[in-house]
Structures are given as C-alpha cells and as structure tokens.
Amino acid sequence: MAESSETSTLAILTFWVGPFLLGVEADQLAQLTRPAGQRRSTHVSEGASDFRVMDLRSICGLPRETNEEHRQLLVVDQAGEKVGYRVDQVGELITIDVATYIQPLPPLLEVQKRWRQLWGVCQWENELVLLVDLQYQSHNEPIEGYISHEWT
C-alpha cells in the first residue's frame, strides 16, 4: 500500500474482474502471465514455477468464468511464496498522482468490504479504480489450487 508522504506518483496496473476495474501497485508484481494462446511476452521477472492460485472472481463474489482460457494471471510474492491471482483481463499501466487522485475507501465500502485487500480508490479516465494490495496475506480466502507452467 502506498504511503502518500513517501511518493508523489504511483504506477498502477489496472485489471478487470467482472464489472470491477481494479488496480495494483506495479512493483508488487513478480510476474504477469497470459494464457498460452496469447503470444505477447509480459513477464515482469523470469523463473516461473508452480504456485498457489486465487480466483479473484470468487473473492469478489462473482460466478466462475466459463471461458477460463482467456483469463490472465498476476503473480505476487507473499512472504517468499509465489501466489497467482486470476483476472479476467489486464488493463493499462497508469501513473497516478497520490495526493490528488488516490483516496481512502469510502465509508460504505469500508463497512461492507469482505475483501481485506481493498485499500483505496482512484479516478482514472472517468472510471473508478478499486485499489488492492495483493501482497496482503489472509488465511480466509479461498485457495483454488496449484497452477503449472501452462500459463507461462
């Protein structure tokens, strides 16, 4: 999570999960992988291996996607363990002015939030982006299993 006193801008990778536009600090990502059918290389770091996978549709309370082959995977390092997060579509890498555009969660979202990784919101191109901390460790989130090299 960004500290507004430490930096004036923040690089955010946006991504879609169902109707929700989410964003994560780009420096949290260890790797960004796409399904085998997509040729563009998007690795942030080398060295893919088996890792635990979380489905963000499930965490957001959405039904399972029927077309799994087009989903993408964001990989983060959580205390030395690689964890992948399935997302519907990766968006753009944006740079946000922290003091001007990033706000804490509105009180209604804070009270109702079931997903503890949410930490703020920002406005970008007339869209509200929900900011998440994918390095946050919660032992209550569903674990989908392990994924192999097929995504790299």
Give residue for tokens 């507004």: 4
Greatest extent of the chain over all pairs of C-alpha atoms, in Å? 43
**Looking at residue 48, what is its pLDDT?**
47
Q: Which residues does the chain have with pLDDT short of 50?
A: 4-5, 37-48, 141-152
Residue 106 is classified by DSSP as P
Please report, for residues 24, 28, 86, 116, 150, the alpha-carbon distance to residue 110 in angstroms, rounded to integers and kept in the order given: 18, 23, 24, 9, 37
CB atoms closer than 10 angstroms to residue 116 = 14
- Residues in the chain, total: 152
Phi-psi region of 50 (alpha: psi -120 to 50; beta: other; left: phi over 0): beta
**Looking at residue 67, what is its pLDDT?**
72
Sign of the alpha-carbon torsion through 143, 111, 133, 70: positive
Bridge partners of 25? 12
State which H helix or E strand residue 81 sits in: strand 81-87
The span from the CA of 43 to the CA of 61, in Å, is 29
